[in-house]
Amino acid sequence: MKSGSFSRFFGSVFAILAVLLVFSSTGYPCFDTFLFIHKKSMVYPRGYAAADVLAEYSVNDTRDASGDSYFTNYNIYYGLAESFSVQFGVSTVETTREERGGGVDSWSARGVLNALNVGGGTYYLDVILEHHTGVDADGNTTVFSVPNILNISDFVLVVHPVYEVTRVDGANEYAWGGHAGLFYNVNNRGIVGIGAEYGSPQSGSALNRQYTDGEAAASLFVGFNFGNLYFQNEFAKGLNNSRDYGFAATVKLFLDMGMHI
């Protein structure tokens, strides 16, 4: 790539990241970077199975360590077809160091469809529908998102708008937002990247202050393969109405059951 084209490419990339951060699910940026190493969409290929555990620790306020919180998330994935995969998971209660709680908080189900594949994997457009339900059935959240993945040489650009509806106590709460990331593939064995996310409430007390009351965060990602295991680490920094710092570690076990990724 010539130097002029190289500069224009990175200028465009950072412009996209900036626009999404300013104008684009609540929470923090979290990508499943395992498939990015193999230049795939967010669909697990047919016959491919995986399971992972994620542990996340948040420093919500550096001035008060007792308010630090943590939770774990467990997921299984399976590719039903070349362009469709499913995911099921359970999450524990997010608790603080002072509370020291625990137990299963919610379960989730997700379907991922690859709607568009351009240039043999240069650009992917996926459609994701996901549902979360609390174990006490007090809250139900439905999430619709359309991740866009662009592969250029060893770089991966992801722009992922999200819309969610949560029903609590008979009323619907809405949020829109998204996350974006720029990643570099290291010899198809590891990946490093940066991510950003913005979430804006569309109902409730913040209805007229969507931008000022929205949550924003940025993250650094490092992931690598080791045999049939994949390790991903995420370091997050809250930017607006968010935790101060956060760390998430994921260990994924994957099994090829008829499809070489």
Q: Is residue 133 part of a domain?
A: yes
CA distance 10 to 190: 21
CA-based nearest residue to 186, from 233, 152, 223: 223
Q: Is residue 140 part of a domain?
A: yes
Left (φ > 0), alpha (ψ -120 to 50) or beta: where does 187 sit? left
Q: Is residue 15 part of a domain?
A: yes
DSSP letter string, 198-217: EEEE-SGGGGGGTTTT-EEE
Q: Which domain holds residue 214?
A: 3-256
- 3 state DSSP class of 212: coil
CA distance 56 to 63: 19
Extended beta strands in 146-189, E state: 148-152, 155-168, 171-186
Identify the DSSP state of 66: G
CB 193 within 8 A of CB 37: no
Q: Is residue 261 part of a domain?
A: no
Mean pLDDT per block of 10 residues along the chain (261 residues) reads: 50 48 41 89 92 88 78 92 95 76 81 96 96 75 94 94 85 85 92 82 39 65 91 78 76 72 51
pLDDT given for residue 109 in this prediction: 95
CB 105 within 8 A of CB 92: yes
Q: Is residue 128 part of a domain?
A: yes
Left (φ > 0), alpha (ψ -120 to 50) or beta: where does 29 sit? beta
Q: Is residue 100 part of a domain?
A: yes
Residue 223 sits in a domain of what CATH number? 2.40.160.40
pTM score of the predicted model: 0.79
CA distance 189 to 221: 14
- 3 state DSSP class of 123: strand
Q: Is residue 211 part of a domain?
A: yes
Q: Is residue 237 part of a domain?
A: yes
State the chain's maximal CA–CA distance in angstroms. 57
pLDDT given for residue 101 in this prediction: 64
pLDDT given for residue 239 in this prediction: 56
Q: Which residues contact 89 (CB under 8 A, 6 or more apart)?
A: 73, 74, 75, 76, 107, 108, 110
Amino acid found at 81:
A
The span from the first CA to the last CA of the chain, in angstroms, equals 27
pLDDT given for residue 8 in this prediction: 54
pLDDT given for residue 183 in this prediction: 95
Q: How many domains would you assign to the chain?
A: 1
* The pair of three-digit structure tokens given for residue 194, joined into one six-digit string: 């940066």
